[in-house]
Amino acid sequence: MSNRAVVYKEPGKVAVENIGFPDLVLRDGPGVNPLNVGRKCEHGVILKVVATNICGSDQHMVRGRTTAPSGLALGHEITGEVIEVGRDVEFMKVGDLVSVPFNIACGRCRSCKSQDTHICENVNPDRPGSAYGYVDMGGWVGGQSEYVMVPYADFQLLKFPDKAQAMEKILDLTMLSDIFPTGFHGAYSAGVTIGSTVYIAGAGPVGLAAAHSAQLLGASCVIVGDMIEERLAQARSFGCETINLRHHDDIGEQIAQILGTPEVDCAVDCVGFEAHGHGSEQGEAPATVLNSIMQVTRAGGKLGIPGLYVTGDPGAVDEDAKIGTLKIRIGLGWAKAHHFVTGQTPVMKYHDFLMKSILSGKAQIAKAVNATLISLEEAPQGYQTFDKGAAKKFVIDPHGLVKR
């Protein structure tokens, strides 16, 4: 059987190619860590992919801002139907419809046992933490494809209780693999609670997910900042206040016009290392968001930082930034006694109750992020459109299974 997938070719270019049908072994290929080659995964399953999403983290690689090799199969946001189970799988069955956490986690190491599944110690020989279809993450094959292998199935997979009900809400449920837990983690770790005022930096899909999560957590006012008006309009569509950072470089002044004070209780960085300076003529300045959220968060506040920062960025603005060394005003954060929470999101800590929020109708995440369905063949165009700042979250439907 063939298995068509979205693969990274060169900076600015992806293509849909046949990568071969998966089996329960991690075989050699683009980006696979040599120490992972031949790894047997009888604890895994093969999924027929029902929905898989384009993520802003994928765009970093496609722009050439990482060391991703040509031919790397992309995609870490995966929802699918189990079509084959390994010998050691006990609880997942053929026919189950499941959400796959983008973190790959063994369930056996110290980190996993502490619910820190984002820093599993056994899946990536280079460092703790792994993900499908991502550079320097061990080489697990991506899921923007027709079929994909998922290891440690009994531990990781979130089974939807009713298949027909799940398909009715699949555009919401597909967000459980990454951006809904990621946005929620950003807001939750920033301490958002009843009555909080919160500033969200970035109105891409993760920023919009964080904003909706802040509303679910009870925030009294959610302010979203971005440089693209279309994305800010999407944030306003579900009740957020907004700041256009292309027109305003003083966030505190803009927050004061909304709240009467230039500070918020907490803030979330949903931008990461490709941040730009604020104002119409500003170029890339990777520490901008981190410094600005320290400026506008009250003393004693918390900062959630789900935005991606990397240790290797060949396209960075200076030599320090190429290894992730940024000019952060840590003295300001220290003086204000801020709490910082960084790193990948431990999806399994959140995905079950977020699923229930979706199924009950409480969470409207597909609406918040403007989920937009495309075919696998349309994925290259989706990448181009998303890269231009479209206020959409592209959901790939490889088999035409999702109701139009």
Residue 404 lies in a domain: no
From the list 103, 161, 156, 110, the residue with the least C-alpha distance to 132 is 103
Amino acid identity of residue 346, one-letter, is P
Mean pLDDT of 10-14: 95
Residue 403 lies in a domain: no
The CB density around residue 312, as the number of other CB atoms within 10 Å, is: 13
32 and 173 belong to one structural domain:
yes
From CA 396, how far away is CA 400, in angstroms rounded?
Answer: 9
For residues 297 and 263, the answer to whether their CB atoms sit within 8 Å is yes
**What is the pLDDT at residue 235?**
98
User: What is the pLDDT at residue 160?
Assistant: 98
* 6 DSSP 8-state letter: E
Confidence of residue 375 (pLDDT cuts 50, 70, 90): very high
In a domain, 64, yes or no: yes
**CATH classification at residue 311:** 3.40.50.720
Element of type H or E holding 58: helix 56-62
Let me know whether 31 and 92 are in one domain. Answer: yes
Q: Which amino acid is at 380?
A: P
* pTM to 2 decimal places: 0.96
Task: Specify whether 236 is located in the same domain as 373.
Answer: no
Distance between CA atoms of residues 369 and 272, nearest Å: 18
Cβ atoms < 10 Å from Cβ of 217: 18
- pLDDT tens per residue, range 187-241: 999 999 999 999 999 999 999 999 999 999 999 999 999 999 999 999 999 999 9
Domain assignment present for 368: yes
Q: Which of 323, 342, 361 is the last residue of a domain?
A: 342
Residues 33-71: pLDDT tens digits? Answer: 999 999 999 999 999 999 999 999 999 999 999 989 999
Q: Which structural domain, as residue segments, surrounds residue 326?
A: 179-342
Exposure b/e, 38-67, CB count within 10 A at least 16 = b: ebebebbbbbbbbbbbbbbbbebbbebbbe
pLDDT band at 279 (very low <50, low <70, confident <90, very high): confident
Q: Are 290 and 201 in contact (CB under 8 A)?
A: no
